[in-house]
Homo-oligomer: A and B are copies of this chain.
Amino acid sequence: MRRNDEMTLGLFLRPAGHHEGSWRDPDVPAKGEVDIDHYAKLAALAEGAALHFIFLADTPSVIEQDYAAMARVSRTICFEPITLLSALSSRTQSIGLAATATTTYHQPYHLARMFASLDHLSGGRAAWNIVTSGHRFEAPNFGEEELPDHDTRYVRAKEFVRVVEGLWDSWEDDAFIRDKQSGVFVDTTKLHVLNHRGSCLSVRGPLNIARPPQGYPVLVQAGASDSGIQFAAEFGEVIFAAEPSLENGKRYYATIKEKARSFGREDSQVLIMPGIVPVIGTSKEEASEKLQRLHSYMHIDTLIGLASRVLGSVADLRSVDLDSFVPESLPQTNFFQSRQKVLLELAARHKLTWRDLIRLVAASRGHLMVVGTPDEVANIMVDTFDQRAADGFNVMPPTLPGGMTEFVGLVVPELRRRGKFRSRYSGQTLRENLGLKRPLNRFTRPIAE
């Protein structure tokens, strides 16, 4: 259903927008983080422009732990994503609903059920962004002292996804007969008990909900470490990458597609969608001023808290001169290895000071940021798409709803003028809209598959 010459677009939702200082912007509602109407408005903006999905990140813990920094950021609290998207399923018609959930601290039975439920609630619009837990304060919320190490997390993640898929396959698509006359509701020969016993998980099944309308909700993945790339190539249907440079983006794109082919997967079934932060103005100067204004909203404690979090608290940033250059390497940590690497490469390439780097992180968190006119933003998106560094983008407006109103009103028309974005939904389900095949039930799949 999707034309290959058109890009896919998602809206990455954060209550106030993606810039760390955005909540202080006059145009951002003060209490958006637990206001369903705020989210419904954002979803409506995205749906009005025929975007493919809205996307929610998630961490089951308060992220910031430096109280001085935490006092000044708005993202310590938010809705739980699956409940939020369930509510939004009743307020939207066509747009996909993508929620992040960790494989490290969830139970596969509960998670399989909730995503199946969301897929039924929305008529086939659910997506699951599969992650492993990377924040050290998640562990003690679930009875553990520390996070499992990086590789162990990926071993569990892989088994977890297979179990969840197996649970979604508990009932064949045509298992439910519902014949009032004969009194037969279900053909129990089409029920399959998983009986999984693996190295990390033991789950019997069957799931107590019919197979999701999409077969499986769309599987999103964002891994960028070696294990992450491997995982993405094997399971990811939408890959949410952080690729701030065109060369790296092209390399990453080629790597993933090639690895996916080695798993027998077609290029069209693996969509690479890096994040993009569009800072839009009527002129480049106006756009730059907007960015500077957002930067000015950040207190020094916010900057330091952010850097410590993203870079893994390895440098004692309170004693560092913020105007000195970032060193080329830092000790490796157990948290977000790949993101740290991207940022250090960026700093080295552009000769950034700590202050420059932290501001960049505050604005883009390692994603591609474009500061300019709608025309310039569209050009970079089209170029990135045409040069095969992206099949589409996960759009991360610096402020919300303002940044999305601008993107939808000014950039989307430019993309359409260039023939690179559709003007309406082509399918019913998210899979159809993304051009992704509906997976066959593993219990009815021909042996060859």
Contact = CB atoms under 8 A, between A and B. Distances in A.
Contacts of A60: 109-110, 113, 208
A295 to B, nearest CB: 13
A71 B185 contact: yes
A74 interface: yes
A176 B206 contact: no
A70 B183 contact: no
Given A33-B210, A67-B191, A77-B176, 5 more contacts: A60-B110, A74-B185, A76-B185, A86-B86, A90-B91
Nearest to A107: B142
Contact of A36 (B74, B76, B120, B203): B120
17 contacts: A24-B180, A24-B183, A36-B90, A36-B121, A60-B109, A62-B206, A63-B208, A78-B209, A80-B113, A86-B86, A87-B87, A90-B91, A105-B109, A109-B142, A137-B204, A141-B204, A143-B202
Interface in A111-142: 113-114, 116-118, 120-121, 137, 140-142
A141 to B, nearest CB: 4
A201 B186 CA distance: 39
A395 interface: no
A23 interface: yes
B80 A114 contact: yes
A208 B109 contact: no
Nearest to A33: B210
A106 interface: yes
A188 interface: yes
B121 A70 contact: no
A443 interface: no
A36 B119 CA distance: 11
A192 B168 CA distance: 39
Query: Lowest 9 A-B CB distances belong to which pairs?
Result: A140-B204, A86-B86, A90-B90, A80-B117, A83-B117, A83-B86, A109-B141, A143-B202, A34-B120
A263 interface: no
Interface in A197-215: 201-210
B118 A208 contact: no
Contacts of A90: 36, 40, 87-88, 90-91
Nearest to A211: B77
A72 interface: yes
B121 A208 contact: no
A178 B31 CA distance: 8
A73 interface: yes
Nearest to A35: B120
A318 interface: no
Size bracket of the A interface: 35 or more
A433 interface: no
Interface in A307-344: none
A35 to B, nearest CB: 8
Contacts of A76: 185-186, 208
Nearest to A188: B67
Interface in A280-296: none
Given A87-B90, A208-B61, A185 B121 contact: no
A62 B208 CA distance: 5
A191 to B, nearest CB: 8
Contact of A89 (B87, B114, B206): B87
A180 B80 contact: no
B143 A30 contact: no
Interface string A166-189: 000001000010101001111110
Nearest to A181: B24
A299 interface: yes
Contact of A30 (B67, B180, B186): B180
A59, A109, A121 interface centre (most CB from chain B within 10 Å): A121
Nearest to A32: B178
Contacts of A121: 36, 79, 83-84, 87
